[in-house]
Amino acid sequence: MLQVNEQRIIFHSGTTVGELAKKYKPTADLFILNGFPVPVDTEVLDGDTCTFIQKGVTPSPDEFEIFLTARHTPGIQKKIKQSTVAILGLGGLGSAVAGAMAKIGIGKMLLSDYDVVEPSNLNRQHYFVDQIGMLKTNALRDNILRMNPSLSLELIDKRLTEQVLPGLFADVDVLIECFDDPAMKAATLRSILTRMKNVAYVGSSGMAGFGENNAILTRMERPGIYIVGDETSEARPGMGLMAPRVGIAAHHQANQALRIILGVAKGRE
Amino acid sequence: MNITLNGNNKSLQKKSSVLDLLKDLQLTPETVVVELNTTIIQPDSYDSTDIGEGDQVEIIRFVGGG
């Protein structure tokens, strides 16, 4: 069998990529075989996956899913697609985490922030100049749907308190804490430990300035509870938050969430 | 009085509440999570919760920025 875009078809030996494309996607001008671009005269083998693309045309959500599956292998992509994460705070950490989770094709994301995009955010947060003044939830939705149109999103644009967290987030697989405010960081972990005992947690503490790359760590506080950062570099006058180091921490968080989803890092006990 | 704080031995000079300990450690109460003998202590109980001989205290501290 062959996988050609969304379809499974019978394999015949000697068939070339060009012949298949002519039949199944005549308008294609880019020919991907098992994840890599190839010339049209390349012969396919049984079990191959062909993806034919017309440059400049947006693929459908189904087509997009097939691209991701080809990249990630089917078993892994299925687990990612079935998972839900919540991202609390859509600043330098949260906007970058959301981008990473969007690109790997996470099934569902709950995105939470009450704030609007301000000029001072743009030194590190993944928004555009023409989005200043928009709610971060709406701006980030627009941006990540351009990265992956098949995402399922839930936007929460109210200010959160410790009391409301379980009602909103108790059903997610992984809660990724990306708040700026240390009191909300502590409140979130407290809520996770006492009232959300099945939800894995990836929190953050200490990523301001331009200190050592390798001081940013992912520490397991206990099974299913992880804290990312150097745990000392506090954002303050003279040591601001900057895109490179915040990005390191954000991608530690995103990768840890992925590791939990795939079962290679410990979940809650 | 001796307690275990984040896995290390610590001596306290006098009878202390959780709030006293946080002040002693120069920590801002709102930015930490405190666990006393495997129970999470709510912030509004920091002042009224006393620490006893041999208690196991875990404090997870957060700094701002995100």
Q: How confident is residue A231, by pLDDT bands cut at 50, 70 and 90?
A: very high
A256 has a pLDDT exceeding 90: yes
- What's the 3-state SS for A137-159? HHHHHHHHHHHCCCCEEEEECCC
**What's the rounded Cα separation, in Å, for the pair A207 and A251?**
12
**What's the rounded Cα separation, in Å, for the pair A95 and A125?**
6
Tell me the mean pLDDT in the region A122-147: 97
> To the nearest whole percent, how much of chain A has pLDDT over 70?
100
Contact: A232, B63; criterion CB under 8 Å: yes
Distances (CA, A) of A3 to A70, A75, A117, A148, A266: 10, 16, 43, 21, 35
Contact: A207, B66; criterion CB under 8 Å: yes
Distances (CA, A) of B9 to A75, A190, A246, B56: 47, 24, 34, 9
Q: Which of residues 30-69 of A touch B (CB under 8 A)?
A: none
**pLDDT, position A159:** 96
Tell me the mean pLDDT in the region A146-173: 96
**pLDDT, position A68:** 83
> Check: CATH 3.40.190.10 for A2-57?
no
**pLDDT, position A73:** 78
* CATH fold group of domain B2-61: Ubiquitin-like (UB roll) (3.10.20)
**pLDDT, position A5:** 84
Q: Is A92 on the interface with B (CB under 8 A)?
A: yes
Longest dimension (CA), chain A: 67
> To the nearest whole percent, how much of chain B has pLDDT over 90?
97
Q: How confident is residue A60, by pLDDT bands cut at 50, 70 and 90?
A: confident
Q: Which of B44, B58, B62 to mutate to test the interface with A (most CBs of A within 10 A)?
A: B62
ipTM above 0.85, yes or no: yes
Q: Are strands B8-11 and B16-17 parallel, antiparallel or unpaired?
A: unpaired
**pLDDT, position A187:** 98
* Contact list, A91 vs chain B (CB under 8 Å): 66
**pLDDT, position A216:** 98
Structure tokens at A191: 């809520």
Q: Is A100 on the interface with B (CB under 8 A)?
A: no
Contact: A182, B40; criterion CB under 8 Å: no
Give the mean pLDDT of chain A: 95
B42 to chain A: closest CA residue: A190
Q: Are strands B8-11 and B50-51 parallel, antiparallel or unpaired?
A: unpaired
What are the residue ranges of CATH 3.40.50.720 in chain A?
Answer: 77-261
Give me the residues paired with residue A84 across strands.
A108
pLDDT tens track of chain B, all 66 residues? Answer: 999 999 999 999 899 999 999 999 999 999 999 999 999 999 999 999 999 999 999 999 999 999
Contact: A181, B61; criterion CB under 8 Å: no
Instruction: Say which amino acid occupies A109.
Output: M
Tell which CATH classification among 3.40.50.300, 3.40.50.720, 3.30.70.20, 3.40.50.2020 matches the domain A77-261: 3.40.50.720
Contact: B30, A246; criterion CB under 8 Å: no
